[in-house]
Structure 1
Amino acid sequence: MAVPKPVSGAITSQFGRRDAGYLQGLNEEQREAVLSTEGPLLVLAGAGTGKTRVLTTRIAHILNTGKAAGKEILAVTFTNKAAREMRDRVEGFVPRLAGLPWMGTFHSIGARILRQHAKLVDLDPKFTILDVDDQVRLIKQLLEAENIDEKRWPARAFAGMLDNWKNRGLLSGDLTQADASGFANGRGQKLYADYQARLKILNAVDFGDLLLENIRLFREHPDVLGEYHKRFRYILVDEYQDSNVAQYLWLRLLAQGRPASEANVCVVGDDDQSIYGWRGAEVDNILRFE
């Protein structure tokens, strides 16, 4: 488990008795990671070594010591189950909790932000989120309109390509010729653009858009991004080795409100594994943390 700086014994003893409830049972390195609250922090450890517990206890410590209110903390997980467990643990650690931190998956947090600013990306706040079957049906309609043989160029295959492009943070205009050439003899870029245009007409987004539209929102409306810079004083991310390029770009934008050395961003992960490689996970994001 790696941390960038040591924590003095004075800090440990200062909180030792009063905070025994949530610090109890932590080993020295876990305790160090919990108490090192200021500045960027990368925690690396293998499976089953208590990384998520460190993250949860760190949130409790920030709240119990008054360093931030619940609404000023963003905690990102990779599954809804993990988010629920984190929420339950924090509530147990922090009596009289006035307000919960923002806790959820990358995509659930992205959806929450998007609904608050939907009109800035040409959507209504009541937009719907398409599942894969909805995507495939829509793509089939586009293929038919373009006289593309769906048996030769399956809609489901193109849905997979779209997902890959969006996980890489690519809008239709960002595709290279090599990217676009992989479907329907080079018509991938036009199909991507037509697909996005149809989504706007339907007031809908797909799973990838929940982050991609956030990234576009932040880049095109720095005032909105500034609101979230002021809101989130602490950002914490679980299972960071499983983040993809779009998630990395989204996180980097949110973390840029302060100089890098002062950004209170904590990510935990295992650089020896990545369970979401099929969703474009980039374990190199850990190497780029600095």
Structure 2
Amino acid sequence: MDDTLPAAPAAEAPWLAGLNPPQREAVETLDGPLLVLSGAGTGKTRVLTARLALLLAMKRAWPSQILAVTFTNRAANEMRERVEALIGEMSAGLWLGTFHALGLRILRRHPELADLRPSFSILDPDDQERLLKQVLADANVDAKHWPARQLSAIVQRWKDKGWRPDQVPTHEAGNFANGRAPALYEAYQERLADLNAVDFGDLLLHNLTIFQRDAEVLAQYQERFRYIL
């Protein structure tokens, strides 16, 4: 991209219409970090959408150089629809989605770095619970006293913290199955690998593995994204 391209004037731009002064200030602050704190229904998604549209309209980046992340599919779909309505085909190629959707996109590109084959599958919560019941049975753990659903919550919490089985701190082992949760977590991950499968938490955890294993791949994404929203 030619960084010397003149920026288009944005004063009358449609994406700025209806914004209040604080919202407009957030939209028009294009350089450096920016934190917006506000409650539900106060226009955060609208601000992000307008800021994204402004970045593209002013040619500050190509669509593929912008990473826009949301917590929910609803917010992601809303942003995509609004951006397409504002700037049309210019929005094609955006990296826009939830944390887990974007994590899956990266994992599909580099499965071998997470010891997966390209055709890996994603377990839904029911499949995950069934697999954990098998793990408990193989370890002779009473699933009535130590239910798979409880172990699932523990494992997902550890994955959200970025902990692989060998990284769970000793003091985090807890009381589940008399402190055997880390070993059960390891057995579960081994079973997932045998099945060439991942669960929801792995979509983020495996991204961490990818970037830690391959500095070149990490650098590619660091160089790709000029803006992260």
TM interval, short-chain normalised: over 0.9
Amino-acid identity (%): 52
1:182 aligns with 2:180: no
Deviation at 1:176, TM superposition (A): 2.1
Select which of 10, 32, 38 maps to 1:15.
Answer: 10
Deviation at 1:26, TM superposition (A): 1.1
Greater shift in the superposed pair: 214-223 or 59-68? 214-223
Select which of 123, 138, 141 maps to 1:148.
Answer: 141
Deviation at 1:120, TM superposition (A): 1.1
Whether the 8 Å contact between 1:139 and 1:155 is mirrored in structure 2 is yes
Whether the 8 Å contact between 1:69 and 1:99 is mirrored in structure 2 is no
Alignment match, 2:157: 164
CA distance 1:40–1:177, change in 2 (3 Å): same
1:60 aligns with 2:36: no
Deviation at 1:14, TM superposition (A): 4.4
Greater shift in the superposed pair: 147-156 or 94-103? 94-103
Deviation at 1:157, TM superposition (A): 1.0
Length, aligned pairs only: 223
Amino acid at match of 1:206: D
1:36 aligns with 2:19: no
Query: What secondary structure is seen at the aligned counterpart in 1 of 2:176?
Result: coil
Amino acid at match of 1:143: L
Alignment match, 1:194: 187
Alignment match, 2:131: 138
Give unmatched runs, 5+ long, in structure 2: 1-6
Select which of 116, 120, 128 maps to 1:123.
Answer: 116
Whether the 8 Å contact between 1:177 and 1:186 is mirrored in structure 2 is no
Alignment match, 1:246: none
Whether the 8 Å contact between 1:180 and 1:188 is mirrored in structure 2 is yes
Alignment match, 2:4: none
* Partner Cα distance (1:148, 1:15) in 2: 64
* Partner Cα distance (1:120, 1:37) in 2: 34
Deviation at 1:98, TM superposition (A): 6.0
Whether the 8 Å contact between 2:84 and 2:91 is mirrored in structure 1 is no
Greater shift in the superposed pair: 90-99 or 159-168? 90-99
* Root mean square deviation, CA, Å: 1.6
Per-residue Cα deviation, 1:102-129 (whole angstroms, up to 9, x for no partner): 1110000000000100011110122111
Deviation at 1:68, TM superposition (A): 0.5
* Partner Cα distance (2:45, 2:89) in 1: 23
CA distance 1:182–1:69, change in 2 (3 Å): same
Deviation at 1:182, TM superposition (A): 2.1
TM-score norm. by structure 1 comes to 0.74
Alignment match, 2:95: 102
Whether the 8 Å contact between 2:10 and 2:54 is mirrored in structure 1 is no
Whether the 8 Å contact between 2:83 and 2:91 is mirrored in structure 1 is no
